[in-house]
Amino acid sequence: MDPVPGGFAATETPLSDGTALRSIIDIRGHKIIVAAGNQSLVLDMADGRSPHAVGEAIMRVSDRHGEGVPVDQNRFADGSPQTYEPLVAEAFLESAAAAIGALEALIEERGGEVVGPHLWPHGFDIAMEWFSRRLVPFEDSMTNAQIATGWYPGEESYIYVNPWPFDASFTDIDLPGGGVWNLEGWQGAKLSVPPGGALSTDLVIEFAGVVHDATRSSLEG
């Protein structure tokens, strides 16, 4: 999802009648807004709907505009009502804006083929990806070597920089600001955000820049 004023918008999904499904999480207004053609649906997040109820409501909008979009309904199978905390959502939006600003500044400094910053809905992390022209095997195809840089907003909040494919020699790189190399679960550089605190844009750029500068030549091959 891409940043928009007050929240995030999903990439438009083409529908079979020629319209497109458009979805916005309006965090500032505490609403989910879904539209297709001249039809729109507004869901108040404070209503405490379950993921299943929200998913079905969105599918009903798309189904009115031709054949249904293929959807993995297991992603929103949970029928339990959810508690929405507006103040927490607003704090997330403020932190997300700071992360987006830092990533945009990094993009301006480093250049190259880049996508993002965007939001990954499965973890709500804000990230950008730099792509090398070098292709490497991945599963059953070839894909570009890359560096993902982002902010993870979970209980343990941190900045991450993941050069891929990962080489064990990367861990010889000294990281600024108390950063460490994470090798369990995922491989990359990690800079913890203090509880209730924030990291300066300059430190994020310095931290990510060190990893970029030290790994890009290897990834470009």
pLDDT digits (tens, 9 = 90+) for 42-82: 999 999 899 999 999 988 888 888 766 678 888 889 999 99
State whether 148 and 204 are in the same domain: yes
Band the pLDDT of 144: cuts 50, 70, 90: very high
State whether 109 and 207 are in the same domain: yes
State whether 209 and 103 are in the same domain: yes
Please compute the mean of the pLDDT values over residues 158-162 and round it to a whole number.
95
Please compute the mean of the pLDDT values over residues 201-216 and round it to a whole number.
92
State whether 36 and 134 are in the same domain: no
What would the pLDDT profile of 5-54 be if each residue is shown by its tens digit? 999 999 998 988 889 999 999 999 999 999 998 889 999 999 989 999 99
Give the whole-angstrom CA distance, residue 126 versus residue 103.
9
Domain boundary residue among 84, 111, 134?
84
pLDDT at 68 (0 to 100): 63
Does residue 206 sit in helix, strand or coil?
helix
State whether 104 and 78 are in the same domain: no
State whether 73 and 29 are in the same domain: yes
Please identify which residue in the block is written with the tokens 């379950």. 50
Please state the domain count of the chain. Answer: 2
| Segment (H or E) for 42 | strand 39-44
State whether 106 and 206 are in the same domain: yes
Pairing of strands 113-120, 125-138: antiparallel
Q: How much is the pTM?
A: 0.85
State whether 93 and 47 are in the same domain: no
Write out the residue range of the structural domain in which residue 166 sits: 87-220
Domain boundary residue among 84, 105, 133?
84
Contact 183, 205 (CB under 8 A): no
Residue 84 tokens read as 């929405």
Task: Give the rounded percent of residues in the chain with a pLDDT score beyond 70.
Answer: 98
Which segments of the chain are extended strands (E)? 2-4, 7-9, 13-14, 20-26, 31-36, 39-44, 113-120, 125-138, 141-152, 158-164, 180-182, 188-192
